[in-house]
Amino acid sequence: MVMGKGHRATEEKDRKENKDYYVVGIGASAGGLKALKSFFENVPVTDNIAFVVVQHLSPDYKSMMVDILSKYTTMQVLEAQEDMSVETGKIYLIPPNKLLTIKENKLHLTQLNPQYKLNLAIDVFFNSLAENFQNKAIGVVLSGAGNDGTRGSKDIKEAGGMVMVQDEDSAEFPSMPQSIIITGIYDHKLPPSEMGQQLLSYIHQPSIVQGNVNRTEKDEIQTEEEALNIIYGLLKLQLGIDFSYYKQNTILRCIERRMKVCQMADLNDYVAYIYRDSSEIHKLNQSLLIGVTKFFRDIEVFDLLKEQIIPQISSTKNRLNTLRIWIAGCSTGEEVYSIAMLILEYMEEHNLRFNVKIFATDVNRDSIEFASRGIYPQSCAVDIPIRRLEKYFNKKNDGYQVIEEIRDMVIFSNHNIVSDPPFHKMDLVSCRNLFIYFQSFIQKKLLKYFHFALNQGGYLLLGSSETINDEVSELFVNINTKCKVFKASSKNRQTLLDYSQTALSLDKSFNTRITNYSATEKKQNKKSVEEIQQKLISEYVPPCVIIDKNHKVIHTSGNINKYIQLPNGAIDLNIFKMVPQSLSFILGTAINRAKKEKVKTVYKNLRFSFNDWEEIINVTVRPFSESNETMMIIIEEKEQEEGDHELVQNNHTINTINTINTIHVEKSMQNRINDLEYELKETKDALQNTFEEIETSNEELQSANEELLASNEELQSTNEEIQSINEELATVNAQYAIKIEELTELNNDMDNYIRSTNIGMIILDRDFLIRRFTPTIKEEINLMDFDIGRPIKHISHNLKNIDLSKEAEEVLGSFIPKELEVQSTRGSWFILKVTPYRTEQDFVKGVVITLVDITKQKEMIEIIKDREEKYRQLFNNANDMIFVNAFDETGQPNKLIEVNNTALGYWVTQGRNY
């Protein structure tokens, strides 16, 4: 059956409205083209995924990405346009100089502001993708510089989506992937060629939230509730966090995402996978604890803090008081530092100075460690006003660090607000966007704790979608409904009893869950063994109590209930408050003696009476551990016989009387008092010694602190000097760079001159060692290229009757140049010049020897001399001489010359006129 076009269009429209398809946002920057090619080469066409590629493009660059990517995929590649509908099986590319967002299945473009120094186009698109597609959003971050995409990836993870990141080894520019890998918010770290298959495996996994998990009918398979209980138990066992009080849908969504990542279709298979891969429970925990926050999030709330709440709290403080704030669920610390900035601003504006302590807590240790460093990526600058960014942050390599003055105001701590005790005497408690994850009964308990933690009139901040439970509404007064600000009422402060009961109940539920998970056969065997042990203990073992070093009961066995009773009021497991007073005297004496002497102490034949009941017992106290910190108390019951009041005599048996309540109680009390006085004296002595040691240590610490302060000042001063020197060195370095460039050019000029000149030259230093020479001079002086650095006197030459070394010494000694005509053994003639080598400062640093070839000039001179001699002989042989004028070209007489008759006769016969 062929479906018509109209039917397909309707189906496509319905599918889009229900968002049953995925949108994959791909962020890339420098080096991203190669990664994109590899990615799309390995992604087959699918009818339930649309791809949007966001790159950092130059505003002046005409992008050719549409044509380029079309060569590597059969999917249609389009450049995004305003209000363009998103369709599956297509790829959309961001245009240059634009920011891209998605809303209601349509793409929207805005102009990139040229004033922004950072291009955060990937964060902007990922944020809109998370808001509109929730768990159908997928973020992929490829090669690039900077950290764009990190904030947006957090948004996608918070919304229930999935994040993939390119591994550092395959990325040409790994900064962007590394920024996400450090935060741990990714689900897969892969090369681009492997991402496509992983992507398809992820989207084809069924949803356990909607009940689509396939189940087998095997009897041993757990139910969904049992499987979840196992996961809760493992999280508590390995990480110390009980997620059973979280909203179940929230937990299921996170588990579903991890199942898709691990390619698990069944919840029981996922439980088995957790047992096989110990790292998976940590990844699930990381997924559950991801918190999205930013600086000055919900600006209206921070405006209210600055204008109303902080002034109100500060009005009650002076130099001797401390302003105390508790921020529960602080995540990576942006909100913490935002509030700290507001407080510091207020104190500076009003010239106030008082102590500020901000307690920032979170159950996620990784978040606490990240927040305590106070270093955030460059993208955080978008949320912080420029003046605050410049004032309260120091620029680091690829980010910003909160200044030390702000960081000193904050104490970060790992803390679970459900299972750990709350803080106390707080002026402000902020717990924003955390209640939404808890069940209502936990919300009510936490509101009581916050009321306990706050001073009377203290403020409570909740998230925009959170409110006060009606059952505890009398504890708080609503100050601002929109910003969710409340003030603690004057109702009596809550006690921590509710906290203890809640913690006990949670531990009990955890123990139940973790115990329930084991094979059926193991359960039955364990139960049988326990029943046998319990029966043996109850029938054959006398009543026994184990106490710790603080006399707290930690274990009991046998029928001990008739000797130990729980006290009224608050629970106190101290053994002396759980037994009758008459028996406590005997136990106190026996316990002290057993501790001191480290041996068994026995009281025999004691007549124990309690209300209308009476019997004879033996009491034995003995050390239970080698460290002597735990003690065992055994109570043996005896039938009354004649002579039972007789005492057993041995080294460690205490003589007692047959009725504790009436006979020799005073003696036992006196022994007990003596023991207590002795313990008190020892305790006082120990405290005195400890106090003296603390005083000494305090003085030493004070002295060390002063030394550290002085050292810190010196280091600060040294640091400033080093900074100044560094700047000077930078200037000098720049100057040297220019000089080096000039010297390089001069050196090139000199090399070319030396290679091209016909003048022979040797440059000697003050020790007459050869520094440089021209190739021409090697014809007469026997030099080789490796003779640089050798003395001139070691070098032979072809010049007659000349000592180059001697000539050089004379010139260097007198500073007077010399010039000589010399002849070589080959008959060539040269002008030899020896001159001092002078520097720019007119210092003589050596000698310069030059040879100028004058052979041709000498030959011409000889020829001229020969001709002159011939002419002279001719004139001498002539009888008559006449003088004639020689005329120049203009007809003017030039000079008078002398000729003989023969020459004149020749000129006349040639018709010459004179």
- Reported as a single tens digit per residue, the pLDDT across 715-760 is 765 665 675 456 446 544 655 665 687 788 888 887 887 777 778 8
Query: Tell me: the pLDDT tens digits for 793-852?
Result: 888 888 888 888 888 888 888 888 988 888 888 888 888 899 998 887 888 889 999 888
Give dist(CA 330, CA 347) in Å, integer: 23
Query: Tell me: the pLDDT tens digits for 620-639?
Result: 888 887 666 788 888 887 75
Q: What's the domain count of the chain?
A: 6
- Stronger pLDDT, 733 or 914, i.e. the higher one: 733
Whether residue 786 lies inside any domain: the answer is yes
Whether residue 3 lies inside any domain: the answer is no
Q: Which of 56, 415, 451, 797 is catalytic?
A: 56
pLDDT, position 877: 67
Specify the range with the lowest mean pLDDT, choosing from 654-658, 765-769, 790-794, 860-864: 654-658
pLDDT, position 131: 87
Q: Is 281 found in the same domain as 320?
A: no
Q: What is the CATH number of the domain that holds 804?
A: 3.30.450.20
Whether residue 176 lies inside any domain: the answer is yes
- Residue type at 16 in one-letter notation: K
Q: Is 590 found in the same domain as 723?
A: no
Whether residue 912 lies inside any domain: the answer is no
- Residue type at 23 in one-letter notation: V
With CA atoms as reference, report the closest residue to 443 among 473, 485, 486: 473
With CA atoms as reference, report the closest residue to 573 among 550, 552, 545: 552
* 204 contacts: CB under 8 Å, gap ≥ 6: none
Host H or E run for residue 771:
strand 770-773
Q: Is 446 found in the same domain as 323?
A: yes
pLDDT, position 738: 59
Report the percent of the chain where pLDDT is more than 90: 9
Measured in degrees and rounded to the nearest 5, phi and psi for residue 245 equal: -95, 5
* 159 contacts: CB under 8 Å, gap ≥ 6: 130, 131, 133, 134, 135, 137
Instruction: Note the residue count of the chain.
Output: 914
pLDDT, position 501: 44
* Known catalytic residue at 148: yes
Whether residue 600 lies inside any domain: the answer is yes
pLDDT, position 572: 75
Band (58; pLDDT cuts 50, 70, 90):
low
Query: Residue 547 forms beta bridges with which residues?
Result: 553, 631
pLDDT, position 647: 36
Task: State the average pLDDT over residues 604-612.
Answer: 70
Give dist(CA 277, CA 258) in Å, integer: 13
Whether residue 654 lies inside any domain: the answer is yes
3-state secondary structure of 424: coil
* 658 contacts: CB under 8 Å, gap ≥ 6: 605, 606, 607, 616, 644, 645
Specify the range with the lowest mean pLDDT, choosing from 71-85, 241-255, 826-840: 241-255
Q: What is the CATH number of the domain that holds 124?
A: 3.40.50.180
Query: Tell me: the pLDDT tens digits for 310-365?
Result: 999 888 887 778 899 999 988 888 999 999 999 999 988 888 888 899 999 988 88
Query: Residue 824 forms beta bridges with which residues?
Result: 799
Q: Is 48 found in the same domain as 170?
A: yes
Query: Tell me: the pLDDT tens digits for 210-246?
Result: 444 444 443 344 566 777 777 777 777 766 677 777 7
CB atoms within 10 A of CB 16: 17
Does residue 25 register a pLDDT over 90?
A: yes
Does residue 656 register a pLDDT over 70?
A: no
* Known catalytic residue at 828: no
Q: Is 232 found in the same domain as 195?
A: no
Q: Which of 38, 123, 128, 148 is catalytic?
A: 148
Residues of the domain holding 110: 18-203
Two tokens at 311? 């002034």
- Stronger pLDDT, 225 or 5, i.e. the higher one: 225
Q: Is 426 found in the same domain as 308?
A: yes
With CA atoms as reference, report the closest residue to 850 among 747, 788, 757: 757
Domain boundary among 842, 857, 872: 857
Whether residue 894 lies inside any domain: the answer is no
Q: Is 137 found in the same domain as 30?
A: yes
Band (285; pLDDT cuts 50, 70, 90):
confident
Domain boundary among 203, 233, 250: 203
Query: Tell me: the pLDDT tens digits for 804-820?
Result: 888 888 888 888 898 88
Reported pTM: 0.47
Q: Is 694 found in the same domain as 601?
A: no
Q: Is 366 found in the same domain as 444?
A: yes
Q: What is the CATH number of the domain that holds 431?
A: 3.40.50.150
Q: Is 379 found in the same domain as 264?
A: no
With CA atoms as reference, report the closest residue to 125 among 108, 101, 158, 109: 101
**CB-CB contact of 380 with 329 (8 Å):** no
Mean pLDDT rounded to a whole number for the chain: 76
pLDDT, position 729: 60
Specify the range with the lowest mean pLDDT, choosing from 68-72, 278-282, 496-500, 715-719: 496-500
Does residue 24 register a pLDDT over 90?
A: yes
Q: Is 676 found in the same domain as 729?
A: yes
3-state secondary structure of 454: strand
**CB-CB contact of 848 with 763 (8 Å):** yes
Q: Is 730 left (phi over 0), alpha (psi -120 to 50) or beta?
A: alpha
Band (613; pLDDT cuts 50, 70, 90):
low
Q: Which of 29, 244, 331, 379 is catalytic?
A: 29
Query: Residue 138 forms beta bridges with which residues?
Result: 24, 162
Query: Tell me: the pLDDT tens digits for 153-210?
Result: 888 887 878 899 999 888 888 888 888 887 778 888 889 988 988 888 888 766 554 4
Does residue 767 register a pLDDT over 80?
A: yes
Following CA atoms 810, 815, 816, 820 in sequence, which dihedral angle do they give, to the nearest 10 degrees?
A: 50
Query: Tell me: the pLDDT tens digits for 499-558?
Result: 444 444 444 444 444 444 444 444 444 455 556 555 555 555 678 888 888 888 888 877
Query: Tell me: the pLDDT tens digits for 421-479?
Result: 888 889 999 998 887 778 788 888 888 888 888 888 899 999 888 888 777 888 888 88
* 898 contacts: CB under 8 Å, gap ≥ 6: 875, 881, 882, 883
Give dist(CA 148, CA 122) in Å, integer: 6
pLDDT, position 238: 66
| C-alpha distance from residue 817 to each of 636, 802, 831, 843, 851 (Å) | 126, 16, 13, 15, 14
Q: Is 228 found in the same domain as 134?
A: no
Task: State the average pLDDT over residues 399-413.
Answer: 89
Whether residue 904 lies inside any domain: the answer is no
Domain boundary among 157, 174, 203: 203
**CB-CB contact of 8 with 88 (8 Å):** no
Does residue 13 register a pLDDT over 70?
A: no
pLDDT, position 507: 44
